[in-house]
Amino acid sequence: MAPVSDPNTALRALTEHPRVQAASERSRAACTELRWHQALRRRIPEAAAESRIRGAWASAELDGARSTVDIVRDLMRGARARATDPDPTERIIHGAMAATAETEALAATALTSPRQTLARLHLAAAAELVAPDQLGRPRTSPTSPEFADLGPAPGPEAIAERLAQLDHILTSDAPALLKLALAHAEIAHVRPFERGNGLVARALDRTLLRATGLDPTGVVVPEAGHGAKGSVAYQGGLQAYGLGRLDGLLLWLDHCADAVVAGAGEGRRIADAVLAGRLT
């Protein structure tokens, strides 16, 4: 989404588009159904904790860091010691776990302080990926090594303008799904940070689901939803968005709606396991 002269008009037009409304309703219905699951009457914390475990695992997988849910679960609950000298895969997994955990504290401010939210997510996600002086700060290098399939990242001079546009989107009254989709794609394409952009984008999804009230329980697993059709579909949706055309944006929005629906399905499986007393 390139900078536009009148973002309010553009957002209103998107909000009124039939496909945007249909996608929003599809995601809202899936989250509402999950919210009324019997297990979430008294055991939301247990289900939400498992959602964060599965979300961290799925986010790391989308960044190419292969592991298992059991490994991530043991790491997050302290049953497995972290390597003292982690390899690149372990660093990504650690970043995914930290960013996912950080989302718990950010729902209250994500829609009023978007820039601070991004900085805090990056501080968590990239603690083992970049130098300390790069944490939470826009990159100054001409490009980023991440999301190479999306083409060259904009230079540092364009980052501030695109982040200002993102601030406007997140503080607007646009539908929750539209905010989530635009924010995720903008972070992936702009790559405002040297490393950790994908981890930040996916953690922001989780944050926005709670902040907008779409998933107040925090049990939806949007990260798993993005990976449900494979990384090729995820990258393809982002590439379509980058074409700068309405049809590409709508394709990406449909992908995000499908991700929320699939993430709610994963949340239901978690709730079923909690209810049956068989959550590992």
Q: What CATH number is associated with residue 140?
A: 1.10.3290.10
Alpha carbon of 169 to those of 8, 86, 106: distances in Å?
A: 9, 37, 17
**Domain span holding position 226:** 7-276
Q: What is the DSSP letter of 110?
A: T
Other CB atoms within 10 Å distance of the CB of residue 276:
9
Q: What is the mean pLDDT of residues 218-223?
A: 98
pLDDT band at 10 (very low <50, low <70, confident <90, very high): confident
Residue 86 lies in a domain: yes
Task: Identify whether 144 is part of a domain.
Answer: yes
Q: How far apart are CA 186 and CA 179, in angstroms?
A: 11
What is the rounded CA–CA span in Å between residue 164 and residue 142?
19
Per-residue pLDDT averaged across 2-23, rounded? 82
Domain count, the chain: 1
The verdict on residue 173 lying in a domain is yes
Confidence of residue 3 (pLDDT cuts 50, 70, 90): very low
pLDDT in tens, 125-168: 999 999 999 999 999 999 899 999 999 999 999 999 999 999 99
Q: How far is CA 75 from CA 52, 118, 175, 177, 188, in A?
A: 12, 24, 36, 31, 27
In-domain check, residue 242: yes
Residue-wise pLDDT for 98-115, tens only, equals: 999 999 999 999 999 999
The answer to whether residue 1 sits within a structural domain is no
Burial of 209-226, coded b for 16+ CB within 10 Å and e otherwise, reads bbbbebbebbbbbbbbbb
Residue 30 lies in a domain: yes
- What is this structure's pTM? 0.95
- The answer on pLDDT for 69 being more than 80 is yes
* CA gap 208, 273 in Å, rounded: 25
| Residue 57 included in any domain | yes
2 occurs within a structural domain: no
